[in-house]
Structure 1
Amino acid sequence: MAFVETVLAIVTSMLLYIFLPPLLDGIERKIRAKIQTRYGPPTILQTWYDIIKLSSKELRIPPTLQYSIFLFILALSLSITTLYLLSYILISFDIYTLTIIIVLIISTHSLLILVSTLSSNPFSIIGVFRGLTIDIVNEMGFIASIPLYYLSIKTFDSSVKSFILLLFSILFIFIVSYVGSKRLPYDLHEAEPELASGSIIEFSGPMLALYLYLHLIDRYTIIALPITMGIGIGLAVTPFVSLFFIHVIAALVYIIFGAVAALLGRSRIDIAVKTLMLIYLLIIIAWIVVKLI
C-alpha cells in the first residue's frame, strides 16, 4: 500500500509540474492585464493554446540553428529528470538528490543559452549576452542561497536568532527565484521594445513553443524547489499532504511574482547587475554576522 501511494504521489506531482506552469502563466497574464487596465487573453488557458498552436505549425530551422533541436531535446530531457527528482524528493529527502537537482537546473539554463548563441542574428547575440550577464550573477546567488537556506531550516529552533537566519535565507532564495524567472525588471534576454525579442528572435513554430514551455517549467521549478526543501526538511507529513502544500504555495508565489512584475519596468543592464550583486552580498554578510553572534 505504501509503495502504491508513493508511486501515485510521484506521478501526480510530475503531472502537476507538467501541466500547471502554462496554466499559471495564463492566470498571470489575466492578472497583469487587470493591473495595467488593458484587455488580456480571453481565457486562462491561452498560454496552452499558444503552445499547441505554435507546435502545429511547420518546423522551419534557420541554417545557423540546425543543431539547436538536439539541444532543445536534451534540455527537455533534463527538465523532465528534474521534475521527477523534485517529485521523488517528497518521499525521501536527501542532500545528494538536492545537489543533482541544482546541477540539472543550471544545466538546463546553460543549454537554453547555448541554443541562442548559435544564431548569427545580432539582436539574438545581444539579447543572449544581456541575459547571460544577469544569469551569471544570479547563478552564483542561487548556489550560495541553497546551503544558507538548508542550514537555516536544519538548525531551526524557537530562538529569535534562528528565526532571523531563516528570514534572511528565505528572502535570499526567493529573490534568486524571482530573478531566475526572468520577470521585470530582470527580463533582459528578450527586451522586446529594444531588441525586437532579443535572444528568441529566430525561433518560430515548434521551436518557439518548446522554448516557451521549457521557460515556463523552469520558472515554476525554481519557485517549487525552496518550498519542497522547506516542507521536506521541516515537516513530517504524508506524500500527498506535502504535494498539496508544495503546489498550492508554489502557485500562489508564482502569481504574486507575476503581479509584482506587472508594476515594474525593465532595468538597465549595468544597474541590474550592480544592485543584484550588492543585495546578494549584503544578505550573505548579514546571515553570517547573525550566525556568529
Structure 2
Amino acid sequence: MNIGDILMLLISLIVFPGLIFISASSLFTEWFIRKVTARIQNRMGPSYTGPFGILQPFIDFIKLIGVKELKLQRYSSTMLAGLGLLMAIGALVSSLLLLPISIVRIQAPYDVIVLIYLTVVWTLIGLIIAALSYPNPFTIAGVSRMLALATFVEPAWVVALLVPFIATSKLYNCSYSVLCTSRYTLSILGINPLYILPYILGIIAILVASQAKLMYKPFDIPEAEQELISGHITEFSGPVLALYNLAHDIETTVIALIVVYIYLGGPYPYPHLSVPGALLLIIKYFIIVTIITIIRSVFGRFRIDDAIRSIIKYSLTISIIALILSWIM
C-alpha cells in the first residue's frame, strides 16, 4: 500500500464512514428511537436540548464523560472495562469497511465471515470483558443471561444473514461477498420471484434476532432493573457508562445498516452516490429502526426461558427454513 491508500483507509476508519460519522449517526438514531418510543407511550421524549431535543444524546454523552463521577471498586478495573468497550466499538467501525457506504471498500470471496467475526464475536467479547471488569453478583447474573441469550441469538442472526448471500452467490457468483451481495440482493427477485418467500422469512428472522442481539424489549433480560438492578451494567458509571452507551448505539446503527444493505439493497434501484439513492438509503434505514423501536415500545420484558423459546420459534427456526429454501431454489 502506498501513502495515498493508507490515508484513504485512515479517513474511512476515522471520519467517514468511520468513528466520527458512525458516532454522530448513532447518537441521532438514539434520539430518533427515544422520540418514537415517547410518542408511542404518550410522552414528549427529548425536547429541550437543540431543535426538537436532537442534541440530548450528545449532551448526555458529554455529561457522562466530563461531569459524572467514575465509580471505583476494590477489585474493579476501569482500564480493562474501557479497553473491552473500545474493542467492541473498533470491531463495529471496522465492519463498515465491508459495506458499500465505505470510501475504501474491502472485498474478497467469503468476506461475510469477516463481517460475522467482527459484529458477532469481537463485539460480544468486548462487552463481556467490560462487564466482568466489575465483579458484582448482579453483574455476573447479567453476563450469564447475556451468554445464555447469545447462545441462541447469534446463530439465528448469522443464519438469517446468510439467506441473501446464498441466493446471490447462486445467481451472480458473488462468492459470499458482502459488497457483491448488497448490490444484487434485490435484483434476483426479478430473475426468480420465488426468492421472495425466503427473503420475507429471512427478514422476519433477522429482525427478531436483531431485537434480541441489541437487548431491546422484550429481550432486555440481561439488564432487568427489577431483578438485577441493571444487570451487566450495574457498576458502569461516568466515562465507562458513556462508552457503553455509545457502543450500544453504534451496534444498533451498524446492524440496521447491514440489514438495509443485505436484504433491502441499500440505495437500489438508484446508484449509490446519487441524491435519490442516498435519500432511499436513509428511508430504508429509518424503516428498520422504526420497526425495532415499535417492537421495543409495545412489548413487555420476557423471562429468560420465554425469550429463548421465542428466539428458537420466531428466529432460528424461520431462518433455517429460509436458508433451506434459498439453497434449493
When normalised by structure 2's length, the TM-score is: 0.77
For the structure 1 residues 192 and 266, does the alpha-carbon distance in structure 2 shift closer, same or farther, using more than 3 Å as the test? same
Contact preservation (8 Å) 2:267, 2:278: no
How far has the Cα of 1:273 moved from its partner? 0.3
How far has the Cα of 1:244 moved from its partner? 4.6
How far has the Cα of 1:65 moved from its partner? 2.8
2:129 is the alignment partner of 1:114: yes
How far has the Cα of 1:39 moved from its partner? 4.2
Instruction: Provide the secondary structure at the position in 2 that maps to 1:203.
Output: coil
Indicate which of 63, 85, 93 corresponds to 2:74: 63
Identity %: 27
2:298 is the alignment partner of 1:272: no
> Where does the alignment leave 5 or more consecutive residues of structure 1 unmatched?
none
- Give the RMSD, CA atoms, in angstroms: 3.0
Contact preservation (8 Å) 2:205, 2:318: no
1:151-190 matched pairs, under 5 angstroms? 151-154=166-169, 155=171, 156-158=188-190, 159-190=192-223
Indicate which of 17, 21, 27 corresponds to 1:13: 17
* Bigger share in helix: 1
How far has the Cα of 1:138 moved from its partner? 0.8
Aligned twin of 2:241: 208
Indicate which of 250, 271, 276 corresponds to 1:217: 250
- Partner Cα distance (1:161, 1:144) in 2: 19
Aligned twin of 1:134: 149
- Partner Cα distance (1:213, 1:255) in 2: 19
Indicate which of 239, 250, 257 corresponds to 2:285: 250
Aligned twin of 1:284: 320
For the structure 1 residues 144 and 52, does the alpha-carbon distance in structure 2 shift closer, same or farther, using more than 3 Å as the test? same
- Partner Cα distance (2:97, 2:45) in 1: 33
Q: Deviations over 1:28-75 (max 9, x none)?
A: 212212211234232132222111100113444433331322222333
How far has the Cα of 1:91 moved from its partner? 4.9
- Partner Cα distance (1:203, 1:191) in 2: 15
Aligned twin of 2:57: 47
- Partner Cα distance (1:112, 1:288) in 2: 32
- Partner Cα distance (2:268, 2:282) in 1: 16
Instruction: Provide the secondary structure at the position in 2 that maps to 1:88.
Output: coil
Alignment: residue pair count: 289
Write the letter of the residue equivalent to 2:123.
Answer: T
Aligned twin of 2:140: 125
Aligned twin of 1:237: 271
Contact preservation (8 Å) 2:160, 2:323: no
- Partner Cα distance (2:134, 2:57) in 1: 26
- Partner Cα distance (1:177, 1:90) in 2: 26
For the structure 1 residues 240 and 200, does the alpha-carbon distance in structure 2 shift closer, same or farther, using more than 3 Å as the test? farther
